Amino acid sequence: MESDPSDPRIMDGTAWQDLCATLERSSRLVVGADVPATPRHRAEGFRYLSRFLAAGLVNCVSHNDPDYPVFGRMIDYTMPWGLDNPDCLYLYAPLRGGAEYRVFGNRGSANHVDFQVNFGHFANGELASWGTVASLDGQDLAQEKDGSFELHVGGSKRSGNWLASRDDVEFLLVRQYFDVWESERPADLCIERVGAEYPVPPPRTDQIAARMEKLASWIERGGALWERMSQGFQSMEANSLVVHMPEDAGERAGMRGQAYGMGHFRCRPEEAVILDFDVPECHHWGVALANHYWEAVEYASRQSSLNRSQAQISPDGHFCAVIAHEDPGVANWLDPGHNVDGTLTARFLHAAIPPQPRFRVVPLDALSAALPPDTPRITPEDRREILERRRRAVIRRFRT
Fold of the domain built from segment(s) 236-398 = Jelly Rolls (2.60.120)
Percent of the chain clearing pLDDT 90 (strictly above): 93
Residues 272-292 pLDDT 10s:
999 999 999 999 999 999 999
Average pLDDT over residues 27-35: 93
Query: Angle formed by the axes of helices 14-25 and 205-217, to 10°?
Result: 10
Global confidence as pTM: 0.95
Higher-scoring residue by pLDDT: 160, 352: 160
Band of pLDDT at residue 2, cut at 50, 70 and 90: confident
What pLDDT shows up at residue 74? 96
Hey, where are the domains in the chain?
A: 8-228, 236-398
Mean pLDDT of all residues in 202-223:
98
Higher pLDDT, 21 or 354: 21
pLDDT, position 31 = 96
Quick one: what percent of the chain has pLDDT higher than 70?
A: 98
H/E stretch holding 215 reads helix 205-217
Mean pLDDT confidence for 349-355: 90
Asked if the model's pLDDT at residue 82 lies above 70, the reply is: yes
Cβ density class 311-327: b for 16+ within 10 Å, e for less: beeeeeeebbbbbbbee
Q: Does 212 have pLDDT greater than 80?
A: yes
Confidence of residue 254 (pLDDT cuts 50, 70, 90): confident
Is 399 a residue whose pLDDT tops 90? no
Three-class DSSP labels, 166-211: CCCEEEEEEEEECCCCCCCCCCEEEEEECCCCCCCCCCCHHHHHHH
For residue 185, is pLDDT > 80?
yes
